[in-house]
Amino acid sequence: MKWLPILLLLPQLLIIAIFFYWPAAHAVQSSFYLQDPFGFGSTFVGWENYADLFGSAEYRKVAWFTVIFTLLVTFLSLAIALLLAVKADNVLHGAKTYRTLLMWVYAVAPPVAGFIGLIMFDQTFGPLTRLFGQFGWDFVLGVNFNDTAFAMVLVSVWKQVPVNFIFFLSGLQSIPRSVREAALIDNRSGMSRFWDITFPLLAPTGFFLLITNITYALFDTFGVVDTLVKGEPGNNPMTLVYKVYVDGFRGNDLGGSSAQSVILMVLVLALTVFQFRLVERRIHYT
């Protein structure tokens, strides 16, 4: 009977092995080679692919952009969603309609969100381009690096706010009424009640969202980036994940892009360790 648990676990283990460990091992192996895309020839190059990446000023630039982009998207998505959730929590009449309308965008897929961004920021007829023009901002998507970056952040945040909103709202609603009422007696300032009582009690939700939002900004924004640069990166900003695609799938440089994915794997690993070791200890789930 010692084998029964293992037998029952086997299907799950197989799935993990086939779909996660095997490709990951393959990527690690490819990252030490330079190989012909068709698979005819390959040369073992050791750490050269990695050395090339770290030696490349462009790769470092892309990495920096990814860090700033991730911080901005995560912070703005969380902050805006929290604000909306707190406000929605106080709405008494028509609360359902209000909430439904706020969750609406949740169903939009990233490439579709990117496409909507393309329309809004079109160089000629984009309503937002025109709006910015009114304020003297000559916004040109796809030409100016910062303008394209702005559009990427805006679309990514817009797409993520509803998800965070749903979680924050349910987090708020699970705070016991008695706690809130007690706080109301002690402190009449809504602002400080929020920071002293509500915010700490929301911390588990907030922490969970922090991790999912970082992952979102790092990986799931691919569709937004791809659509907004129209598949032609040029001088536009891009994220690390998009660069893996550009070099591997457009450029057919399998070794180089494998090395890039291994770097991303290490990054995710670090993020996970950080999540479980450092922060989980300090956050108390009720």
Point out which residues bind other proteins (CB under 8 A).
34-43, 45, 52, 58, 123-124, 140-145, 229-236, 246-247, 249-253, 255-256
Residues contacting 65, CB < 8 A, separation 6+: 149, 237, 238, 239
- Toward other proteins, which CB reaches closer, 20 or 249? 249
- Distance between CA atoms of 245 and 69, rounded to whole angstroms? 18
Q: How far is the CB of 87 from other proteins (least distance, A)?
A: 39
| Beta carbon of residue 101, minimum distance to other proteins (angstroms, whole number) | 34
Nearer to other proteins, 159 or 243 (CB): 243
Least distance CB 51 / other proteins (angstroms): 11
Closer residue to other proteins, CB minimum distance, 31 or 35: 35
Question: CA 50, 55, 60, 61: dihedral to nearest 10 degrees?
Answer: -130
126/171 with CB nearer other proteins: 126
d(C-alpha 105, C-alpha 11), whole Å: 36
Q: How far is the CB of 31 from other proteins (least distance, A)?
A: 13
Shortest Å, Cβ 47 to other proteins? 14
In the complex with other proteins, the residue whose CB is nearer, 140 or 269, is 140
H or E stretch at 100: helix 95-103
Cα-based angle 118, 70, 228 (whole degrees, multiple of 5): 15
251 by DSSP, 3-state: which?
coil
